[in-house]
Amino acid sequence: MPTREPTIREMPPPPHIVGLQHFITYAEIDEILRSRSFRQGSHQESQPFFGRSLLTIDGDEHFERRRLEAPLFAKAALEYYEHTELIPLIGKTLEECRDNRGDDGIVRADLCVLLRTMLARIAAATTGIDGVDTPERTTAFREYVEQLGTGATVEWSTEDHDEVIRRILAVRDDFDRDFFASSVARRRALIEQFHQGEIERDELPVDLITMLYLHWNDDWDDGLPIREACLFLVAATQTTTHSVPHLIAHLDEWFETHPEDRARVTDREYIKRAAHEALRLHLPSPALLRIANEDVMLSNGKTIATDERVACLFTPANRDPNVFGPDAGEFNPYREVSSVKPWGLTFGGGEHICIGRTLVTGLSARTDNDEGTDGTLVNIASALYDAGIEIDPDDPPAYTEASHHDAYGRFPILLTKL
């Protein structure tokens, strides 16, 4: 029997944060993220990709941008998006897998590739990129987003950083030519029609690009929309693609010791709780950096000097027994937490807290509530269980070699009910 990687992996801190003061408890990180005495400290080298985007600006400029983009995540927008875009896109992507039926009649797929395809389409819809439809176009788009992701996280790269930036800027020009420019042109024409009174406001698409051009700010440079779009594309795809395989791996392991729970995969409330645990244990962004605007003393007496850059390590904080109980390092879909979010600090905190969180985890606290949405994680996992997902017993999942991260690089599955 081939051996499986451990579902909980010990990770050394990534090299670019060595030498910085580290914070590892839930309370101190929460305090730093919420404090107005700090500013964004991540993504300093990746400015050509994320510069002046929502993630890298602070203070009033950040607040105004957040106000501008928040309507994308309003209740009505999320409901529209989940029912009109997300659920059909998940179904379409699974349908395409039917072409990979083996001689034994079973459909096989790599969950990592499947998720990247689904998420590329989902991210294209929220960002406002047209033409991500056929499998060929989706693959081309997905590859662009993956490359842009490499540029946006150049700080973590083991290659020469200047070389990475040069290469990925050229890739971005191709992305502009193949997808971005025409998507912008279509939206600008619609906005013009709206200004001329030819169409109503609610006939405009609900996506980031439309929002930016509808509320254009003359202080922005012409390159801002593509950088903001890159942020949305990378932030939306890489994170969810990271989380779903962990959810499936944990549930598979849990069912071995709790076989009575296996039938509960059709229970969306159960999947939601399991998803919160997977989010808590496996962070797509395991470390966030902040810079102090002034000398700071935290409630626990630790001090940070003006302009000092500090690293907040989320993995230990999200396994803090003082917050999540004595079994904090383990997966338990029945965990009850009070006073903090069940996913802990996975979506960050303070002003830069993830703007897309409600897309991922849904609006309603419970899934049996007609109001609101269940979010991408529950919808994707439920669709996978409906399709009869099983981890391929002959070809176990493996972590990617390319990163310190606990990210799966390949995750072969069977879809026995397709």
Q: Report the interface residues with ligand HEM, using CB under 6 A.
A: 40, 42, 54-55, 66, 126, 231-232, 235-236, 239-240, 243, 284-285, 288, 346-348, 352, 354-356, 359-360
Choose from ligand HEM, another protein, none: what does 42 bind? Cβ within 5-8 Å by kind.
ligand HEM
Choose from another protein, ligand HEM, none: what does 402 bind? Cβ within 5-8 Å by kind.
none
Closest CB to ligand HEM among residues 128, 333: 128
Closest CB to ligand HEM among residues 40, 414: 40
140-157 in b/e form (b: 16+ CB < 10 A) is bbbebbbbbbbbbbbbbb
Choose from another protein, ligand HEM, none: what does 236 bind? Cβ within 5-8 Å by kind.
ligand HEM
HEC-encoded secondary structure of the chain:
CCCCCCCCCCCCCCHHHCCCEEECCHHHHHHHHHCCCEEECCCCCCHHHHCCCHHHCCHHHHHHHHHHHHHHHCHHHHHHHHHHHHHHHHHHHHHHHHHHECCCCCEEEEHHHHHHHHHHHHHHHHHCCCCCCCHHHHHHHHHHHHHHHHHHCHHHCCCCHHHHHHHHHHHHHHHHHHHHHHHHHHHHHHHHHHHCCCCCHHHCCCCHHHHHHHCCCCCCCCCHHHHHHHHHHHHHHHHHHHHHHHHHHHHHHHHHHCHHHHHHHHCHHHHHHHHHHHHHHCCCCCEEEEEECCCEECCCCCEECCCCEEEEEHHHHCCCHHHHCCCCCCCCCCCCCCCCCCCCCCCCCHHHCCCCHHHHHCCCCCCCCCCCCCHHHHHHHHHHHHCCEEECCCCCCEECCCCCCCCEEECEEEECCC
**Could you tell me the smallest distance in angstroms from the CB atom of residue 38 to another protein?**
14
Distance between CA atoms of residues 179 and 382, nearest Å: 31
**Could you tell me the smallest distance in angstroms from the CB atom of residue 412 to another protein?**
36
By CB under 8 A, is residue 153 in contact with another protein? no
By CB under 8 A, is residue 354 in contact with another protein? yes
**Could you tell me the smallest distance in angstroms from the CB atom of residue 234 to another protein?**
19
Phi, psi of 156 (to 5 degrees): -90, -5
**Please, what is the end-to-end C-alpha distance for the chain in angstroms?**
26
Residues shown for the chain: 418
**Could you tell me the smallest distance in angstroms from the CB atom of residue 35 to another protein?**
10
Closest CB to another protein among residues 185, 365: 365
By CB under 8 A, is residue 70 in contact with another protein? yes
Choose from another protein, ligand HEM, none: what does 363 bind? Cβ within 5-8 Å by kind.
another protein
By CB under 8 A, is residue 339 in contact with another protein? yes
Phi, psi of 170 (to 5 degrees): -65, -40
The radius of gyration computed from the CA coordinates of the chain, to the nearest angstrom, equals: 21
Closest CB to ligand HEM among residues 54, 209: 54
Closest CB to ligand HEM among residues 130, 207: 207
Among positions 238, 346, 358, 379, the unique one binding another protein when judged by CB under 8 A: 358
| 9-68: contacts with another protein (CB under 8 A) | 34, 63, 66-67
Distance between CA atoms of residues 338 and 250, nearest Å: 23
**Could you tell me the smallest distance in angstroms from the CB atom of residue 119 to ligand HEM?**
8
CB 258 within 8 A of CB 270: no
Choose from another protein, ligand HEM, none: what does 151 bind? Cβ within 5-8 Å by kind.
none
Closest CB to another protein among residues 196, 338: 338
Distance between CA atoms of residues 375 and 317, nearest Å: 25
Choose from ligand HEM, another protein, none: what does 288 bind? Cβ within 5-8 Å by kind.
ligand HEM
Closest CB to ligand HEM among residues 236, 414: 236
Choose from ligand HEM, another protein, none: what does 341 bind? Cβ within 5-8 Å by kind.
another protein
Choose from another protein, ligand HEM, none: what does 213 bind? Cβ within 5-8 Å by kind.
none
Query: What mask of x and - would describe binding to another protein in positions 72 to 111, judged by CB under 8 A?
Result: -xxx------------------------------------
Closest CB to another protein among residues 175, 324: 324
Choose from another protein, ligand HEM, none: what does 240 bind? Cβ within 5-8 Å by kind.
ligand HEM
**Could you tell me the smallest distance in angstroms from the CB atom of residue 84 to another protein?**
19
Binding site for another protein (CB under 8 A): 34, 63, 66-67, 70-71, 73-75, 338-339, 341, 347, 349-351, 353-355, 357-358, 363, 365
